[in-house]
């Protein structure tokens, strides 16, 4: 198990470029299974989850040619379906939450699929009902075999378009059902679809491959099934979660940072929410400039009541940034209620922030009230463990702003979602040592 040793209280200065979007990458890379032709993907993040998925595709028989540091050409002309029956597939797919999105392309092209119960962050209940109910609506049948090692087996010999109302606006669920529907017979209408930029990117890529999807960027997608798809080129968006993390980091460490190539129109209300915490920023073309701020003040509502920041389906605020909002608020002036609606275990890292000196009241598994210090009391370095990707980076931000030295264990969780984060932050003035 690797660790970070962080010497805190360092002012950063310089430019940083966000990686490609992790959440987009996992579904885009699975989509290469939909065609025999070559698909070239650019701006792929070099992170653990994505690399594991690429290696898993290689084990399935997908040929991969690296064109540059962040570009790979995939060719899925010869797929070894026997591999999905193997112990190796079970072990590798179970370790990766994103592996569940292999099912949609498998059902579309091969009319069958098999996947073990996938892993991922331990942040509470993460059900797969949306995926499987959507597949069933399309005519697939599935079974779960505990004695066979916990495999979901899906048969889709007769995929037919239909109307469906998703039980939740799940990003991965929408992507999975959408990829199955593009080659189903007839027309599929998906209501209550997620419409995050990741989904918009996937829809645009599939249309370039020959799919017929309308309603992009809305929660009502209409898919006219086609018999085959073709190759294409695709460039992924910058990671909005990294961009938000860097905004919070700059504020907490009183640093002057320019975040490059952000594709600002795709960020939705993310900059607005950080601005409501009092964080100043300037949009310079497609870059975000964060000036060094000694103080930042949380807004109240017009009636004077306490600000509440809650996650919601897009275009609402993404749940992946609530951990960053929470830690950033610890040094603001004012109070904010952070309401994590989606996952019941994602706020349980706040005990470490309290140990560092933060004033936080954990109201229940979903809500925490943060009373900002206004820098009157500086956080202090401690030893802690990263419980998941987003909490791990929140703890890293806390450690970088703290007095003294902190140790963060289990940084493999951080590496799952953030590309060479220590090297990139050290380049602009941080002091992080990988142990």
Question: Contact, 330 vs 372, CB < 8 A?
Answer: yes
> Among 292, 300, 432, 314, which Cα is nearest to 375's?
292
Are the CB atoms for 426 and 13 separated by under 8 Å? no
- Alpha-carbon distance of 45 to 30, in angstroms, equals 15
Q: How far apart are CA 223 and CA 201, in angstroms?
A: 15
Residue 146 to residue 149: CA distance in whole angstroms: 5
Peptide bond into 315 cis (omega under 30): yes
- Residue 25 and residue 417 in contact, taking contact as beta carbons nearer than 8 Å: no
Q: Residue 280 CB: number of other CB atoms within 10 A?
A: 14
Q: Report helix, strand or coil for 54.
A: helix
Q: Exposure of 344 by Cβ count < 10 A (0-12 exposed, 13-18 middle, 19+ buried)?
A: middle
CA angle 208, 211, 216 (to 5 degrees): 80
From 46, 59, 87, 121, the catalytic residue? 121
Is 320 annotated in some ligand binding site?
yes
Q: At what angle do helices 48-60 and 87-94 cross, to 10 degrees?
A: 160
Structure tokens at 256: 């002057």
Strands of 256-259's sheet, edge to edge? 13-16, 256-259, 287-290, 282-284
Spatial strand order in the sheet of 220-224: 163-165, 187-191, 220-224, 212-214
Instruction: Say if strands 71-75 and 38-42 run parallel, antiparallel, or are unpaired.
Output: antiparallel
Whose CA is closest to 349, among 382, 377, 314, 374? 382
For residue 111, give the nearest of 145, 135, 78 by alpha carbon: 135
Mark whether 46 is an active-site residue.
Answer: no
Is 23 marked as a binding-site residue? yes
Residue among 434, 425, 432, 433 at smallest CA distance from 17: 425
Q: Is 342 annotated as a binding residue?
A: yes
Nearest C-alpha neighbor of 330 from the set 364, 377, 366? 377
Annotated binding-site positions for phosphoenolpyruvate: 22-23
Annotated binding site for UDP-N-acetyl-alpha-D-glucosamine: 97, 320, 342
Annotated binding residues, written as ranges, equal 22-23, 97, 320, 342
For the annotated catalytic residues, the residue numbers are 121
């Amino acid at each position: 198990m690797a660790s970070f040793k962080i010497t805190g209280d360092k002012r950063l200065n310089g430019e940083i470029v966000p990686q490609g979007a992790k959440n987009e990458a996992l579904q885009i890379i699975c989509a290469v299974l939909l065609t025999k032709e070559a698909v070239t993907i650019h701006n792929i993040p070099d992170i653990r989850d994505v690399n594991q998925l690429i290696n898993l595709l290689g084990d399935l028989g997908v040929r991969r040619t690296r064109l540059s540091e962040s570009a790979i050409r995939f060719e899925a002309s010869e797929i070894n379906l026997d591999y999905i029956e193997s112990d190796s597939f079970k072990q590798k797919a179970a370790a990766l939450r994103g592996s569940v999105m292999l099912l949609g392309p498998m059902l579309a092209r091969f009319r069958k699929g098999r996947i073990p119960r996938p892993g991922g962050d331990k942040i509470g209940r993460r059900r797969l009902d949306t995926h499987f109910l959507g597949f069933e609506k399309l005519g697939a049948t599935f079974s779960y075999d505990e004695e066979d090692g916990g495999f979901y087996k899906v048969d889709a010999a007769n995929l037919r378009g239909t109307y469906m109302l998703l039980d939740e606006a799940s990003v991965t669920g929408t992507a999975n059902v959408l990829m199955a529907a593009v080659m189903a017979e007839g027309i599929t209408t998906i209501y209550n679809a997620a419409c995050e930029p990741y989904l918009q990117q996937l829809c645009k890529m599939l249309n370039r491959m020959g799919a017929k999807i309308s309603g992009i960027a809305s929660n009502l997608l209409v898919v006219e099934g086609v018999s085959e798809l073709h190759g294409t080129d695709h460039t992924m968006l910058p990671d909005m979660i990294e961009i938000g993390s860097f905004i919070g980091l700059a504020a907490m460490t009183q640093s002057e940072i320019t975040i490059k190539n952000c594709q600002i129109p795709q960020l939705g209300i993310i900059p607005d929410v950080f601005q409501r915490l009092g964080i100043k920023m300037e949009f310079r073309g497609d870059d975000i400039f964060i000036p060094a701020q000694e103080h930042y003040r949380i807004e109240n509502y017009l009636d004077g009541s306490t600000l509440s920041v809650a996650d919601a389906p897009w275009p609402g605020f993404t749940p992946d940034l609530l951990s960053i909002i929470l830690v950033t608020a610890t040094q603001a002036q004012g109070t904010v209620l952070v309401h994590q609606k989606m996952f019941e275990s994602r706020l349980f890292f706040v005990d470490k922030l309290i140990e560092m000196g933060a004033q936080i009241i954990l109201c229940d598994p979903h809500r925490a009230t943060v009373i900002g210090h206004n820098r009157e009391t500086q956080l202090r370095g401690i030893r802690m463990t990263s419980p998941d990707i987003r909490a791990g980076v929140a703890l890293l931000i806390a450690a970088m702003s703290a007095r003294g030295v902190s140790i963060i264990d289990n940084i493999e969780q951080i590496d799952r979602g953030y590309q060479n984060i220590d090297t990139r932050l050290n380049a602009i003035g941080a002091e992080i040592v990988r142990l």
